[in-house]
Structure 1
Amino acid sequence: MPTSSTARPTFPPTLWAARGRHVGSAAEDTVRQTLQRLKDDHVVDDFLEPPDEPAAGSGAAGAPGPRIFEARWKTPGAAVTVRARLILEPASAGGQEWTLLAEAEAAWDLSWPSPATVFWPDDPDVTWDRDAATGLRLRGINTLPDDDKAVRRLLKEAGRSPWNIHVVVHEAMTPDHRGRVPLVQWLPPGLRHRVVEHRAAPQQLRVVNWALEDFGVQVPRGGAAVLPGTPAPAEYAAGDFSVRTVFLDGSEPTALMAAVTSFDALDRPLPDDAVAALGSLREDWRLLTLQEELERERKLVAMYAEALEAMTQSRDLYREAAERAAEALAVYRESAGAAPARPAPAEPPASPLRGLTRTLERFRGAARAPRTAGPDGRTETEPPRTDD
């Protein structure tokens, strides 16, 4: 079972988030038409399509980036304002991935209409409801493939998906037409477009549980299990989110619906790309009312005033410090000019030993007598003269 990290941010209680893929054509036109129709019917207060921005890190200049649609509406009854943002990625071979985040002014109520139906038509023929991780439908039954390796690969991708909720249901026996209806139809509106239902045939129970061993999850025979996602919520326990029996006879599976609703109520870790999308929703929101624009301008004026006040204080402090430094320098110069000149240092007195040495040298020179040449040519010392 994948370990969860408590340091990661979790889904705020005011947030509704989902990710999917549109595999048809003209996805942008479909979103525009749906928003305009709901605005004309006064379901949506207003919507906006901000101008295109180049894709970050794109090699070619002017490469198309994702298309962004913003919408604002009020929930029925509670009249709570909801701001939602749809990010539609550029088209690729597999279609166009979309990320939808909606944040309300109060904690999200699952009985409120799904934000997906604000941007996309609630029509089963429009193929916008594909899970981004597995490519399976969000509003239908997804039968597991016959190949065991394909089953293992598919459930691995489903178990690692951090966005939508994946549920695996095992058919104890092949159901009739009453059991071939999607179970998500009994979910509240706030969960219907965030749950992927996988159906395992009676003979596939062993391979299903073999594929889910890494997640610590086992599906009971004829029952169902809610996969934890990666990373798993800190409070997730596999036994609390498995249902021993699911009757596929057209009746409401209350135990399974309660397990899915309880799982959604956990502090689920927020995916990394959802953190960036939520920050963009809160900070780069452009669909403002007149009151919101006025409030934003007031905040900008207050911010500029604080910055100007800080700059003025810094300038005054700098000027005061410069004046004090100039005064200190002037005082130093004045004190240096008024001080008396110092006398030149006198020569050090002669050393007594040196004077005694000179006296002895004079006596030594006087004691030496001059030498004269004798009759034989030898030098003799002249005796000292006497007065006698």
Structure 2
Amino acid sequence: MAKRNPSSTTVPDTAWLGSGRHLGSDAERDVRRNLIALKAAGVIDDFLDLDPVEAARSTDLFPRDESADPGPNARRLFEARWRPADGVTVRAQLTTYEAEQRRGESEGVTWVLAAEAERAWEAGWPSPATVFWPDSDQVAWDHEKVPGVRLRTTNHLPKDDGELRRLLRECSRQSWFVHVVVHEAMTPDALGRRPITAFLPPSLRHRVVEHRATPEQALIADFALKRELGVGLPRGGAVVLPPTPQPPGYEPERFTVRAVFLDGTEPVELLGKIVEFASLPQPMRADAERALTRLRQGWHLLTPEEELVHARAMVTRYAKALEAMTASCDLYREAAESAVAALAEATGGAPAVPRPAPAAAEPESSPLKALTKTLSLFRGPNR
């Protein structure tokens, strides 16, 4: 069962982590088609499509961290490897899970994505999300774990105060993404309704969720944010929301923008705040930590050089295991020989013969014995 308590560790600067839901008819087919197309185009080096049970068995020769297992609800495991820059390799793993019951929504398929590079991640690199999922509005892979929230679009805040506060709590405690709330000072036109996340660098674009407060929601949104998260929302401005727990260095004023012009132009100040916030050490949740452990300990897509290193490591581990078994057998044999020698010394070299058990004692007097003794008195030479 997944734990909701946040981990005390932070996300490594080499990692990219994401989790969401796919509401289409066949999530695995969409992933498979995208990987095949990207490999044919030379965008990625290679990929694997694995059954989770068989994948777990192939790496279960020796004891390992249980968190490296995908779990009983896993449907499929995909791995991909690509090079975003010279001399840098990215390894990524996407796992799909059985649908969970949601409030008033289609259940969908839950997915977890963990990617790690050989050096610190750069925002200009391709997004791991669009390596596995097609970057198309026709495929609904971008739904958040929090119901009613999506990536790649604007999400209007609920009108009801209770629903609004519930949404803020769930986004703060459950989401793996960065959340931004923008207040519309006036109803924007078509250009202003476009999501500001489209201006972000590729790797950051699918890590940010944009919420919009309508002009009449200025007071209710500001009150709910202060009540739940301790941050305010300026009229016509924006704020980057803190997760729970807050990352070190987060200050509400530092990540608040007083004015955002929703006219289709690039909101430079707000984008700078988002990039700055994303560079802070982010707390890593327990389920995200398990996904990263699974990527590191349960990796299957090896290069020829890595396969050679892996084979040598396996030979070494088998040799050590065999050596330990041999040493254990030697210890048992020495112990048995010592026991035999000690027994021989205690018995003077003679084989130990077990003592017979004492016979049960007969009763000292019985009616038959008394009669026999009396008759013997009458016996004589002439009788």
TM-score normalized by structure 2?
A: 0.77
The CA distance in 2 between the partners of 1:237 and 1:32, in whole Å, is 42
Equivalent residue, structure 1, for 2:313: 299
Find the residue that maps to 1:220 and give its secondary structure: coil
- Is 1:53–1:66's contact at 8 Å kept on the other side of the alignment? no
Q: 1:105 aligns with which of 108, 115, 118?
A: 118
* Match of residue 302, structure 2, among 279, 288, 309: 288
User: By how many angstroms is 1:328 displaced?
Assistant: 6.9
Name stretches of at least 5 consecutive residues in structure 1 with no aligned partner: 57-62, 335-388
Partner SS, residue 270 of structure 1: strand
Alignment of 1:1-388 (within 5 A): 8-53=8-53, 65-75=74-84, 77-91=85-99, 93-212=106-225, 213-316=227-330
Task: Please list every run of 5 or more consecutive structure 2 residues that lacks an aligned counterpart in the other structure.
Answer: 57-71, 101-105, 349-383
Q: Distance in 2 between matches of 1:318 and 1:64?
A: 44
Question: C-alpha separation between the residues in 2 aligned to 1:287 and 1:171?
Answer: 47
| Higher relative contact order, structure no. (Cα contacts within 8 Å, ≥ 6 residues apart) | 2
Q: Distance in 2 between matches of 1:149 and 1:96?
A: 27
Q: 1:186 to 1:277 in 2, by over 3 A?
A: same
Q: Distance in 2 between matches of 1:328 and 1:142?
A: 83
Would you say the 8 A contact 1:87–1:100 is kept in 2? yes
State whether residues 21 and 144 of structure 2, in contact with CA within 8 Å, keep that contact through their aligned partners in structure 1. yes
CA–CA distance in structure 1, aligned partners of residues 73 and 250 of structure 2:
41
RMSD (Å) for aligned C-alpha atoms:
2.7
2:356 aligns to what?
none
CA drift at 1:281: 1.3
Q: Is the 8 A contact 2:7 2:284 kept in 1?
A: no
SS where residue 114 of structure 1 aligns?
coil
Q: Deviations over 1:136-160 (max 9, x none)?
A: 2211111223333332332232232
Contact 1:70 1:84 (8 Å CA) reproduced? yes
Q: How many angstroms apart in 2 are the aligned matches of 1:86 and 1:319? A: 50
Per-residue deviation, residues 55-107 of structure 1 (Å, max 9, x unmatched): x9xxxxxx9742211111111x3341111111112245321121111111111
Greater C-alpha radius of gyration: 1
Question: Per the alignment, do residues 102 and 66 of structure 1 end up closer, same or farther by CA in structure 2, a change over 3 Å counting?
Answer: same
Does the Cα contact within 8 Å between 2:165 and 2:228 map onto a contact in 1?
no
Task: Give CA deviations for 1:315-340 in whole Å, capped at 9, x if unaligned.
Answer: 44555566667667777777xxxxxx
Shift of 1:125: 2.5
Partner SS for 1:179:
coil
Deviations, residues 249-274 of structure 1 (Å, cap 9, x unaligned): 32222221122112212221111111
| 277-286 or 149-158: bigger deviation | 149-158
The AA in structure 2 aligned to 1:178 is L
Give the direction of change, closer, same or farther, for the CA distance of 1:281–1:185 in structure 2 (3 Å limit): same
Q: In percent, how many aligned pairs have the same letter?
A: 52
Q: Distance in 2 between matches of 1:331 and 1:79?
A: 71
CA offset digits 1:7-37 (Å, max 9, x no partner): 6121111110111111222221111111111
Contact 1:134-1:157 within 8 A present in 2 as well: no
Residue 131 of structure 1 deviates from its aligned partner by 1.4
Give secondary structure in 2 for the equivalent of 1:112. Answer: coil
Give the letter aligned to residue 301 of structure 1. Answer: V
CA distance in 2, matches of 1:146, 1:323: 83
Q: Secondary structure at the match of 1:101?
A: strand
Q: In the alignment, residue 303 of structure 2 is paired with which amino acid?
A: T
* Native 8 Å contact 1:21 1:135 kept in 2: no
Q: Which one-letter code corresponds to 2:311 in the other structure? A: E
CA contact (8 A) 1:156 1:211 kept: no
State the TM-score, normalizing by the size of structure 1: 0.76
SS at match of 2:284: coil
- Partner-residue secondary structure (3-state), 1:218: coil
Counterparts in 2 of 1:180 and 1:64: CA distance versus 1, 3 Å? closer
Query: Which secondary structure does the structure 1 equivalent of 2:93 belong to?
Result: strand
- Give yes or no for contact 2:97–2:111 (8 Å, CA) kept in 1: yes
Q: In the alignment, is the contact (CA less than 8 A) between 1:52 and 1:64 conserved in 2?
A: no
Instruction: Give me the whole-angstrom Cα distance separating, in 2, the residues matched to 1:166 and 1:296.
Output: 41
Secondary structure of the residue aligned to 2:209 is strand
